[in-house]
Structure 1
Amino acid sequence: MKKETYQLFKPLLFIVLFSFLLIFPQWVTKGVIFGADSIFHYNRFYEAAMQIKNWNYSYFISIYGFQQSGRIVNAVYGPFFAYFQGLLVLLGRSWFGYQLLSRFVLGVIAGLSMYKLLKAAKIKDEISIPIALLYLTTFSIQYWTMRQGFTSWGAAFLPYCFIPAIRFTFYKEVHPIQLAVSVALIFQVHLLSTLFLIIMYIPFFVYGFFQTQKKLKVIGQGLLSVGLALLLTANVWLALLFLRMENRLLDPFINGLMDNNAINTGSSYWIITPYPLVLFLIGQIIYLVVRWRNMAKWKRILHSVYLLFIMLSTTLVPWKWMVDRGIKFAELIQFPFRFFIPATILLLLIGAMTLNRFVKWRKLSCWILTIFALIGAIQASVDTYQQAKIAEKHHYVLRSSLHVHTAGTYQEQRQAVFDSNLDLLLQKIRKSTPDYVPVYNSIKGYNTYNLYAEKVIFKEGFTKVVNNDGSLSLTWDSDGGQTELPVVVYKKTKLILNQQVLKNYELKLSTFGNPTVTSKQGVNKLTISFTVPVYFTFALWVTILTWLGLVLYWLYYRIKGYDFQVLHSE
Structure 2
Amino acid sequence: MKSFQKHLLVVGCLISFSILLVLPQCFSGGIILGPDFLFHYNRFYDTAMQIKNGNFQYFISTYGFQQSGRIVNALYGPIFAYLQGILLLLSRTWYNYQIFSRLVLNIIASFSMYYLMRTARIKIRVAVPMACFYLTTFSIQDWTFRQGFTSWGAAVIPFALIPAFKYITDHKINSIQLALCVSLLLQIHVLSTILLVITYIPFFTYGLLKSSTPKKDIFKICIAIFIFLLLTMNIWTVLLAVSHSNNLVLPFINKQMYSYSVTEIGCYWLFTSLPLTAIIVFLLYLSIKKWHSHTPLAKICSINFFVFSILSTSIFPWYLIIKYKIRPLEIFQFPFRFFVIVTIFACVLFAYFLSNHLSKSNNNKIYSILLLIVLVGLFQTTTFANKKYEYWTTSSSPLKNLGMLVFNSENDKKIHDSLYSTDLNSILKLVQKKTPDYLPSYHNNTKKNYALYSRYIISANSHFIKRVRSNSLVVTWYAKKRKTISVPIIKYRNTKLILNGQKITGKKHKYHLIKIGTPVVRQKKGKNKLVVSYNAGNWFLPVMYIVIITWFSCLTYIWWKLFRKLKK
- TM-score normalized with structure 1 length: 0.96
User: How big is the shift at 1:410?
Assistant: 1.1
Which residue of 2 is the match for residue 551 of structure 1? 555
Q: Is residue 186–residue 193 contact of structure 2 (8 Å, CA) maintained in 1?
A: yes
Amino acid corresponding to residue 394 of structure 1 in structure 2: S
User: How big is the shift at 1:321?
Assistant: 2.6
Which residue of 2 is the match for residue 379 of structure 1? 380
Cα 1:331–1:563 shift into 2, 3 Å: farther
Which residue of 1 is the match for residue 253 of structure 2? 254
**231-240 vs 313-322, greater mean Cα deviation:** 313-322
Equivalent runs, 1:423-442 vs 2, <5 Å: 423-442=425-444
Q: Is residue 92–residue 98 contact of structure 1 (8 Å, CA) maintained in 2?
A: yes
**Separation in 2 of the partners of 1:124 and 1:535?**
50
Cα 1:172–1:497 shift into 2, 3 Å: same
Which residue of 2 is the match for residue 509 of structure 1? 513
Equivalent runs, 1:171-570 vs 2, <5 Å: 171-360=170-359, 361-362=362-363, 364-408=365-409, 409-444=411-446, 446-459=447-460, 460-467=462-469, 469-478=470-479, 479-503=481-505, 505-506=507-508, 507-560=511-564, 562=566
**Separation in 1 of the partners of 2:334 and 2:223?**
34
**397-406 vs 284-293, greater mean Cα deviation:** 397-406
Cα 1:213–1:402 shift into 2, 3 Å: closer
**Separation in 2 of the partners of 1:538 and 1:362?**
58
**Separation in 1 of the partners of 2:44 and 2:335?**
27
Q: Secondary structure at the match of 1:43?
A: helix
Amino acid corresponding to residue 254 of structure 1 in structure 2: I
**Separation in 2 of the partners of 1:340 and 1:563?**
41
Q: Secondary structure at the match of 1:495?
A: strand
Q: Secondary structure at the match of 1:475?
A: strand
**Separation in 2 of the partners of 1:281 and 1:171?**
28
Q: Is residue 127–residue 362 contact of structure 1 (8 Å, CA) maintained in 2?
A: no
Structure 2 regions of 5+ residues with no counterpart?
none
**76-85 vs 300-309, greater mean Cα deviation:** 300-309
Identity %: 37
Structure 1 runs (4+) greater than 6 angstroms displaced: none
Q: Is residue 109–residue 156 contact of structure 1 (8 Å, CA) maintained in 2?
A: yes
User: How big is the shift at 1:544?
Assistant: 1.3
Q: Secondary structure at the match of 2:109?
A: helix
> CA offsets, 1:179-208, max 9 Å, x none?
101110111110111111011100110111
User: How big is the shift at 1:270?
Assistant: 1.2
**Separation in 2 of the partners of 1:491 and 1:316?**
43
Amino acid corresponding to residue 499 of structure 1 in structure 2: G
> CA offsets, 1:226-271, max 9 Å, x none?
0100011000011000101100110011111212211111111211
Aligned residues: 561
Amino acid corresponding to residue 42 of structure 1 in structure 2: Y
**498-507 vs 283-292, greater mean Cα deviation:** 498-507
**230-239 vs 299-308, greater mean Cα deviation:** 299-308
Q: Is residue 356–residue 362 contact of structure 1 (8 Å, CA) maintained in 2?
A: no
Q: Secondary structure at the match of 1:476?
A: strand
User: How big is the shift at 1:553?
Assistant: 2.5
**Separation in 1 of the partners of 2:540 and 2:174?**
29
**501-510 vs 37-46, greater mean Cα deviation:** 501-510
**Separation in 1 of the partners of 2:243 and 2:42?**
23
Q: Secondary structure at the match of 2:313?
A: coil
User: How big is the shift at 1:552?
Assistant: 2.4
Amino acid corresponding to residue 203 of structure 1 in structure 2: P
- TM-score normalized with structure 2 length: 0.96
User: How big is the shift at 1:298?
Assistant: 4.1
Q: Secondary structure at the match of 1:268?
A: helix
Cα 1:399–1:15 shift into 2, 3 Å: farther
User: How big is the shift at 1:325?
Assistant: 2.7
Amino acid corresponding to residue 253 of structure 1 in structure 2: F
> CA offsets, 1:123-155, max 9 Å, x none?
111000000000000000000000000000000
> CA offsets, 1:325-359, max 9 Å, x none?
32212320111001010011011111111111113
User: How big is the shift at 1:397?
Assistant: 4.0
Equivalent runs, 1:137-148 vs 2, <5 Å: 137-148=136-147
Cα 1:261–1:484 shift into 2, 3 Å: same
User: How big is the shift at 1:560?
Assistant: 4.7
Q: Is residue 126–residue 362 contact of structure 1 (8 Å, CA) maintained in 2?
A: no
Cα 1:402–1:279 shift into 2, 3 Å: closer
